[in-house]
């Protein structure tokens, strides 16, 4: 199997048309463009139906900003996992956010290469980091209202009953202004 066969892969950027028109670079590599990457938080990458990849191979998804020379890994698919949703991080990446276009690259690689790149579970660490930042934000918000009633006790916190409702309102307001606010470094 080579990338020279017609339409092997697809990508979906939420709110945009399906992309299957990859330009073949060589027998194992193909590229396509994604416009306005600063608005792209996730990409779904998948093998099209009836695509056959030889045993022991998978497809790795990369991206590069102009002049399209330094490739950064996004994720991979295999016959055992023929699709995946990958966080891009482009909205918070200064190098990518203001670019008019990024190039998406797909490379057919042996499964050993994919395993060595440690991308079989890509996206899991990003989601954990995001959830951790949300939990930390809630904790810090709650401690700002904490009262110790004159006694200091490291194992308990006394906060108003409606603290979670107030935090949720604050969180939703910030999210409406900037959906990526949690991923930005606070100064």
pLDDT in tens, 23-66: 999 889 999 999 999 999 899 999 998 888 888 999 999 999 99
Q: 91 to each of 2, 131, 176, how far by Cα in Å?
A: 33, 18, 15
Asked if 137 and 174 touch (Cβ cutoff 8 Å), the reply is no
Give the DSSP letter of residue 126: H
Q: Is 95 exposed, middle or buried (0-12, 13-18, 19+ CB in 10 A)?
A: exposed
pTM: 0.66
pLDDT at 1: 44
pLDDT at position 185 is 57
Taking only the tens place, the pLDDT of each residue in 80-102 is 889 998 888 898 888 999 999 99
């Amino acid at each position: 199997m080579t990338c020279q066969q017609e339409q092997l892969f697809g990508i979906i950027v939420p709110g945009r048309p399906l992309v299957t028109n990859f330009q073949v670079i060589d027998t194992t590599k193909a590229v396509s463009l994604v416009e306005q990457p600063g608005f792209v938080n996730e990409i779904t990458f998948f093998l099209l139906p009836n695509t056959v990849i030889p045993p022991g191979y998978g497809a790795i998804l990369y991206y590069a900003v102009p002049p399209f020379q330094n490739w950064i890994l996004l994720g991979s698919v295999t016959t055992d996992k023929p699709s995946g949703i990958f966080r891009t991080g482009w909205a918070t990446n200064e190098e990518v956010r203001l670019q008019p276009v990024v190039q998406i690259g797909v490379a057919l690689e042996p499964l050993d290469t994919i395993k060595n790149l440690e991308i079989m579970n890509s996206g899991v660490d990003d989601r954990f980091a995001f959830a951790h930042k949300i939990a930390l934000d809630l904790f810090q918000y709650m401690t700002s209202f904490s009262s110790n009633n004159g006694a200091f006790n490291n194992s308990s916190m006394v906060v108003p009953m409606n603290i979670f409702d107030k935090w949720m309102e604050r969180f939703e307001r910030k999210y409406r202004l900037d959906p990526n606010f949690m991923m930005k470094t606070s100064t």
